[in-house]
């Protein structure tokens, strides 16, 4: 395996000195990468260790962003008030960089207080650049208070050739809370014929309710070790998308039927099914283009939103 080969190299071959020790990796599959020191800016250097913190709270005029903190590469230029629901506050995350580079570590924390309604997305697709040392990682923590709602629906993630990327997302739901969490993975710059040339991609989503684990979902793709087009993986398709509609206090079976009907009509191959422990509904979509998968998941998001907060999903406009 690629990780074993890297771990067996001499320190100077990995780009590190004898005195330098490997940094902690979030998963055993990334331990070999963590031992490699990027020849440019080191892990944790200014601009490499991005931190974003957002907190939403209810007010007389609806929800407000009451606290925000961002370090490079994150940037917040304010909030937008064009959501179809009058009480929802919207934030689009921006980045002045060209994408995620080797050695980058991102830490995102979003808190939605009791009774607040929020929508967080990214201004454009996240591009994970090519790498020859170390890896890039992101940890996202979402906390949704009592009777609150959060839509966390970023634009697609594009995995460039030789990239190594791991992301962990944890969602904590208070009683009566709901959330929609979405992710789309594009395995390369498809327009230039680059597909499944990345080295490793790992994504983990974990949801908890009051005092209990609701479910955990993992996607781990390593094109050099296993064929992503094999049956039971992506098959004949290229782009993979997931939306989790988290609503532990709702009728998961009925919601699953309605969401399945909404996404089955799209151009992408998609379906919906109830999540374990009554957590809500999971939607999977496969297609040949990001736009196809995104449109299908948008239909599911729209249906979920009407069910959960009695308002349609916002349009794709990013201003």
Q: Are residues 16 and 150 in the same domain?
A: no
State both tokens at 255.
Answer: 């919601």
Query: Residue holding tokens 């993992």?
Result: 218
Domain membership of residue 134 as a residue range: 41-309
Beta strands in 275-312 (DSSP E): 280-287
How many independent structural domains does the chain possess? Answer: 2
For residue 73, say if its preceding peptide bond is cis, omega within 30 degrees of 0.
yes
21 and 164 within one domain:
no
Residues 7, 77 within the same domain: no
- Residue 255 DSSP code: H
Contact 285, 241 (CB under 8 A): yes
Decide if pLDDT at 24 tops 80. Answer: no
Mark whether 108 and 10 lie in a shared domain: no
Confidence of residue 97 (pLDDT cuts 50, 70, 90): confident
238 within domain boundaries:
yes
Residues 249 and 237 in one domain: yes
The predicted-structure confidence for 168-177, as pLDDT tens digits, reads as follows: 999 999 999 9
> Which of the residue ranges 15-19, 78-82, 196-200 has the most confident prediction, judged by mean pLDDT?
196-200
DSSP state of 80: B
Domain identity same for 33 and 129: no
DSSP, collapsed to helix, strand or coil, labels residue 29 as: helix
- Do the domain assignments include residue 314? no
The alpha carbons of the chain give a radius of gyration, in whole angstroms, of 20
* Strand partners of residue 142: 110, 171
Give the predicted TM-score (pTM) of the model.
0.89
The average confidence (pLDDT) of the chain is 89
Whether 228 and 279 map to the same domain: the answer is yes
State the Cα–Cα distance between residues 147 and 110, nearest whole angstrom.
Answer: 16
Asked if residue 201 belongs to a domain, the reply is yes
Does residue 240 belong to any structural domain of this protein? yes
26 and 57 both lie in a single domain: no
Kindly state whether residues 6 and 101 are assigned to the same domain. Answer: no
28-45 pLDDT per residue, tens: 888 888 888 887 766 766
* Residue 181: exposure state from Cβ atoms within 10 A (0-12, 13-18, ≥19): buried
- Determine, yes or no, domain membership for 230: yes
The pLDDT confidence band at residue 87, using thresholds 50, 70 and 90, is very high
Q: Cα 153 to chain center, whole Å?
A: 8
Indicate the pairing of strand 164-173 with strand 126-128: unpaired
- Tell me whether residue 292 is in a domain: yes
Looking at residue 136, what is its pLDDT? Answer: 95
Q: Are residues 2 and 128 in the same domain?
A: no
Asked if the structure places residue 318 within a domain, the reply is: no
- The DSSP symbol for 75 reads B
Task: Express each pLDDT in 122-152 by its tens digit.
Answer: 999 999 999 999 999 999 999 999 999 999 9
pLDDT band for position 318 (50/70/90)? low
Residue 236 pLDDT: 93
Same domain, yes or no: 189 and 85: yes
Instruction: Indicate whether 204 and 68 sit together in one domain.
Output: yes
Gap between the Cα atoms of 307 and 107, Å rounded: 31
Domain presence at residue 94: yes
Tell me: pLDDT of 159 over 50. Answer: yes
- For 225-276, how does the pLDDT look when each residue is reduced to its tens digit (9 = 90+)? 999 999 888 999 999 999 999 999 899 999 999 999 999 988 999 999 999 9
- Looking at residue 38, its pLDDT comes to 81
């Amino acid at each position: 395996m690629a990780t074993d080969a890297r771990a067996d190299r001499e320190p100077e071959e990995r780009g590190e000195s004898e005195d330098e020790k490997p940094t902690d990796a979030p998963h055993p599959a990334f331990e070999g990468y963590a031992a490699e020191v990027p020849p440019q800016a080191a892990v944790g250097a200014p601009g490499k260790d991005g931190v974003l913190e957002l907190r939403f709270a209810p007010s007389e005029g609806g929800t407000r962003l009451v606290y925000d903190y961002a370090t490079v590469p994150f940037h917040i230029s304010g909030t937008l008030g064009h959501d179809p629901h009058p009480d929802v506050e919207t934030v689009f995350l921006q980045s002045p960089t060209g994408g995620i580079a080797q050695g980058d570590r991102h830490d995102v924390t979003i808190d939605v207080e009791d009774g607040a309604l929020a929508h967080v997305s990214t201004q454009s697709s996240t591009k994970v650049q090519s790498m020859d040392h170390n890896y890039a990682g992101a940890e996202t923590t979402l906390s949704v208070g009592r009777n609150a709602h959060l839509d966390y629906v970023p634009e697609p993630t594009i995995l460039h050739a030789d990239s190594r990327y791991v992301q962990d997302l944890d969602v904590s739901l208070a009683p009566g809370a709901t959330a929609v969490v979405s992710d789309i993975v594009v395995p390369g710059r498809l327009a230039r014929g680059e597909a499944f040339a990345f080295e490793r991609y790992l994504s983990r989503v974990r949801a908890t309710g009051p005092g209990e684990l609701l479910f955990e979902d993992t996607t781990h793709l390593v094109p050099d070790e296993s064929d992503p087009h094999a049956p039971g993986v992506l098959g004949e398709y290229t782009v993979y998308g997931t939306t989790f509609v988290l609503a532990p206090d709702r009728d998961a079976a009925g919601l699953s039927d309605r969401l399945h009907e909404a996404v089955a009509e799209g151009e992408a191959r998609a379906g919906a099914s109830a999540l374990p422990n009554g957590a809500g509904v999971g939607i999977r979509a496969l297609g040949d283009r990001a736009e196809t998968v995104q449109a299908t998941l948008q239909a599911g998001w729209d249906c979920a939103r009407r069910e959960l907060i009695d308002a349609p999903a916002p349009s794709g406009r990013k201003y």
